[in-house]
């Protein structure tokens, strides 16, 4: 009997701390999937017709939206002329991965082809894979700005929003150390520099002037509020928090919910659609 009691006491001493750690871990990394975050107004979203162009990471965000706000219609549109009902988050895959110019062209084609008439808000995002270590981020940004400025001029009744480029994690550990020793680039370091260079230009150009969803900033801020960074050539650069991904680039379940909450809060800040004045009735001639 004494042996059994001693065994139970020792077992409790081992198990209880582990259970407490698991509980704390769950509190830090998991979030209820049914309640929108603070700042999200489903009432405001019910008035908006929103179009979002994306590829895989955008799909991850929408998966999170479906968990966080299941009542919000998320509808894929095939044609730019499809009707988008108020309160709808319409979306489509635009362009080809690794060909950022194709995404610019496809988004422009869709907006000019009817999206501007069917949606109050339109925007798209590049993907992490659109940027390599040799991408000329500044040249790409100039093409982006010229395209968006042209769309804004042609469609003044549409609100055009902007999204920073998603990041990836950077390789750590022995393999990364060996690459550095051999003078070889570590996965994620050079690529994130080009992504962040583009993102800084986005913030400088549109921050405070147009709606801007800073996806990269959210991805690089861990669940506990700590910034994920690395140093390259004496400068600090942001990277994706490992807590939000299982493969170093796409959002896992935790990342989907985390980013979806911020995404919905962002959409809630968008200006209300312009109310068109009623057409006056034609008076009959006496």
- CATH number of the domain encompassing residue 211: 3.40.50.1110
pLDDT on residue 270 = 93
Phi/psi at 235 (nearest 5 deg)?
Answer: -125, 145
pLDDT on residue 272 = 83
- Give how far Cα 199 sits from Cα of 20, 49, 106, 238, Å: 40, 26, 21, 11
Average pLDDT, the chain: 84
Decide if 246 is inside a domain: yes
Decide if 252 is inside a domain: yes
Domain count of the fold of the chain:
1
Determine which of 133-137, 174-178, 225-229 has the lowest per-residue pLDDT on average.
Answer: 174-178
Q: Residue 256 belongs to what domain range?
A: 37-268
Decide if 276 is inside a domain: no
Decide if 31 is inside a domain: no
Q: pLDDT confidence of 178, banded at 50, 70, 90? A: low
Decide if 275 is inside a domain: no
pLDDT on residue 16 = 38
Decide if 104 is inside a domain: yes
Asked if 106 contacts 95 with a C-beta cutoff of 8 angstroms, the reply is yes
Decide if 283 is inside a domain: no
Decide if 183 is inside a domain: yes
Q: pLDDT confidence of 6, banded at 50, 70, 90? A: very low
pLDDT on residue 184 = 60
pLDDT on residue 14 = 36
Which residues, in sequence order, are CB contacts of 59 under 8 Å at separation 6+? 93
Determine which of 42-56, 181-195, 252-266 has the lowest per-residue pLDDT on average.
Answer: 181-195
At 200-246, the pLDDT tens digits run: 999 999 999 999 999 999 999 999 999 999 999 999 999 999 999 99
């Amino acid at each position: 009997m004494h042996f059994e009691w001693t065994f139970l006491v020792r077992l409790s001493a081992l198990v209880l701390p582990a259970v407490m750690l698991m509980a704390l871990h769950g509190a830090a990394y998991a979030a209820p999937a049914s309640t929108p975050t603070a700042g999200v107004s489903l009432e405001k979203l019910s008035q908006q017709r929103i179009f979002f162009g994306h590829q895989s990471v955008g799909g991850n965000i929408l998966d999170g939206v479906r968990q966080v706000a299941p009542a919000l219609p998320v509808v894929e549109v095939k044609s730019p002329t499809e009707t988008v009902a108020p309160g709808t988050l319409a979306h489509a895959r635009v362009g080809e991965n690794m060909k950022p110019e194709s995404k610019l062209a496809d988004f422009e084609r869709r907006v000019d082809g009817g999206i501007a008439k069917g949606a109050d808000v339109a925007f798209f995002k590049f993907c992490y894979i659109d940027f390599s270590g040799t991408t000329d981020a500044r040249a790409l940004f100039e093409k982006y700005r010229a395209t968006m400025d042209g769309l804004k001029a042609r469609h003044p009744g549409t609100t055009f929003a902007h999204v920073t480029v998603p990041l990836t994690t950077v390789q750590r550990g022995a393999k990364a150390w060996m690459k550095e020793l051999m003078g070889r680039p570590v996965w994620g370091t050079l690529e994130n520099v080009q992504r962040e260079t583009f993102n800084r230009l986005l913030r400088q150009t549109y921050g405070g002037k147009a709606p801007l969803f800073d996806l990269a900033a959210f991805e690089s801020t861990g669940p506990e509020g700590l910034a994920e960074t690395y140093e390259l050539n004496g400068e600090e650069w942001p990277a994706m928090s490992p807590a939000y991904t299982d493969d170093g680039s796409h959002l896992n379940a935790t990342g989907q919910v985390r980013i979806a909450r911020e995404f919905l809060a962002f959409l809630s800040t968008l200006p209300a659609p312009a109310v068109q004045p009623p057409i006056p009735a034609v008076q009959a001639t006496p």
